[in-house]
Each structure stands twice: as C-alpha cells, then as structure tokens.
Amino acid sequence: MSSAPTSGVTVLSVPSPLPENPYQRLLYGALDRSGARIVTESALLKPDDSPRILHVHWMWLKDGRMRRFVRSRRFRRTIGRARSLGWRIVWTAHNVLPHEHRADDVRLREHLVANCDGIIVHTEATRDAVMETFDPACPVSVIPHGHYRDAYAAPPTRAEARSALRLPDRPVILFFGQIQPYKGVDDLIGAFRRTSIDATLLVCGTPRTPDGGDRLRELARGDDRIRLDLRYIPDDETPRVFAAADRVALPFRQITTSGSVILALSFDRPVVIPSFQPLLEVCGPDAAEVYQGPDDLGPALERALAADAAHSEAAARALCDDLGWEPIADATIAFFRQITAQSPRSSE
C-alpha cells in the first residue's frame, strides 16, 4: 500500500489490471503512490462512504453472437450496479470504437457514455472524435499516455542486440506489436520491397488472423532484407528487439491511441508514422518521419534512415521526459476529485 497522503479517492479498474498490459500496471502504481486507494472487483458491493470511481478502459465483446450478448449484458449490469451504489463512472477512451466494430459495439459504448460522469482521452484529436461520435453530457479531460520506461529492463547495446538476433550489420527498421489489418503491415512490406535501401525490415508480433502469418511470409518471399518473427515477444525480449532498431515503422491505416508509438519513444527510437492527428500530437517533428498516404511510405523509410540518428533519438528521449507517470497520476486524481465533487448524474 502507498505511504503517500490519501487523495480520498477509491478506484476500481474495469477490466481488472491485466498482467500482460504494462499501461494499467504503471497507471495504477502511480495513482497508488499519489494517494488513491486502488481496489479489486470484490469492493464493488461493499458499503463505503468515500468518493469512488469505476474506471473503465476496455469493453471486449468476443466472437459469437451469444457470447457477445452475454458479455454486453454483464457489462451493463456492472455499470448499473455501480451507479446504484454511488460509484461514479469514468471511461478512458483508448479507442472511440473498436477498429473492426459491429452494431453492438456502438450500442454498448453509447450506453456507457450515457452513464459516464467523466471521460479521459489522451489527445485533443481523440476528444474531438468522442464529442463528434457520442456528444457526451459529461466532462472530457485530455490526459497524456505515460511512457513505458519503467516497465522493461535496460536494453543492451545495438551491437549486442543485433548479434543476439543474428541480424546483419546494417540499419534496422522495426515493426512491433500484434499484427492486425488496421496496422498496415502488408503496406509496410510492400513499400519496403519497392525501395533499394540497404537495411533490414524486422517484423515482430503475432498475426491476429489464422492466415495472417502465411500472407506475410508470401509477401516477404524472395527479399532477404525482410526478417519475420511472427510470435508474441515476451517482456524480457522486448528491450533487445528495440535496441537492434534504428527506426520503428508504424503504418496504421486508422488509429486513435497508439501504445506502440509510446513504446518506441520509451526506447528512444524515432518513428515513421502516417499523418494522423492523434499521432502528430504525440510525436514532435524531430522524432517522427511523417508520410502522406501509402505511396509516400517507401520514400519516408528512406528519409528516416537518412536523417541524423543522434538528433532523432534525442528528440524521442525528450518527448518521453514529458510523459512521466507522477504528473499523469496527479492530473487523473484531480479529474476524479472534480467528478466526485459534482452531483451524480441520473442513470440511463
């Protein structure tokens, strides 16, 4: 438990913090150090007169009509029960809608927003998207996404990392993360193949679709500059992968919040990104090579490798210096206290 002076706010995360998700671990660790009382699901029904926040992050509806119906109903009951017991509802909108959403995803978020006492977003662009999509009656606060520096061990040197990964001694462009259609890995491989740069494209991550790995292997076939590591990369291997890279390419086709961008910056790695406003708000011009549409992706990779590496890495490092978790926790607690000081909204 924290020895910090109490903030007077009790916080319950939905879903419960996931072991594989460093974002929740870092956020709630910082909230605890700043005096919030972090509780588990068992506290939901216990009598408590303190200001209480049910903090929603994600609402996952699995495949299958009946499973989606059951999960949706369970989530609605949790929201209803919490409101009836005096909890205030705050949603951190990591995504306005799932990337591959259905009608019930939209309805569930509409229900959540109608019952929210406050919404947190990470960028002004996301705030605009939330307002346009849902027109919430509650306050919406922009609080940045914190860095991941403290979630991983110190990385090895670039030479050590490349030796361990058996990569040739030439520049490395990295894609890292779960491989889904909206992340544009197909576009990245195609654009890289159309260049003649003397570099390695290293793709690390698990394809989400059953045929995703086969498709990527077929796209990469015949180009020995491309290395595919199509598996989940555990935390103890992550620093080595980023240490090997010169640039991190994140060719999203759509995006709201990108933990992958924050992760790259946390390892002082400049990024190659599309010209999407949520990304531009996070990445300053010196830490990002921005491309304008798919035809510019290949040239952007060339421009990124031609840029001053030391300058770009220093810019990435400086960006993360402003994303510490303590000020983020303080801003979050201040917003929670603002919410709990208001009269409760009527349930819908």
Cβ burial of 222 (10 Å; 0-12, 13-18, 19+) is exposed
Walk across the sheet containing 52-56 and list its strands: 37-39, 10-14, 52-56, 88-92, 118-121, 140-142
The model's pLDDT over 43-94, given as tens digits with 9 standing for 90+, comes to 888 878 789 999 999 887 667 677 888 888 999 999 999 999 999 999 999 9
Residue-wise pLDDT for 141-153, tens only, equals 999 999 999 999 9
- Answer for the pair 68, 101: CB distance below 8 angstroms, yes or no: no
Q: How far apart are CA 233 and CA 203, in angstroms?
A: 11
Superfamily assignment of 10-146+324-341 in CATH? Glycogen Phosphorylase B; (3.40.50.2000)
Burial 20-45 (b: 16+ CB within 10 A, else e): eebbbebbbbbbbebbbbbeeeeebe
Q: Which of 154-168, 215-229, 245-259 has the lowest average pLDDT?
A: 245-259
Q: Which of 186-195, 241-250, 253-262 has the lowest mean pLDDT?
A: 253-262
- Report domain extents, the chain: 10-146+324-341, 149-321
| Paired residues of 229 in beta bridges | 204
Same fold, 10-146+324-341 and 149-321: yes
- How many whole angstroms separate alpha carbon 202 and alpha carbon 195? 15
Cis peptide bond upstream of 51, omega within 30: no
Mean pLDDT over residues 255-270, rounded? Answer: 92
Tens of pLDDT, residues 21-44: 899 999 999 999 999 999 998 888
Q: Using the predicted structure, report yes or no on whether residue 7 has a pLDDT greater than 70.
A: no
Mean pLDDT of 199-205: 98
pLDDT at 98: 79
Residue 301: name the closest of 199, 162, 176, 220 by CA: 199
Q: Give the separation between CA 335 and CA 322, rounded to whole angstroms.
A: 19
What mean pLDDT comes out for the span 337-341?
A: 95
Q: How many helices (H) and strands (E) does the chain have?
A: 13, 12
Q: What is the pLDDT of residue 1?
A: 47
CATH node for 149-321: 3.40.50.2000
C-alpha span between 266 and 256 (Å, rounded): 19
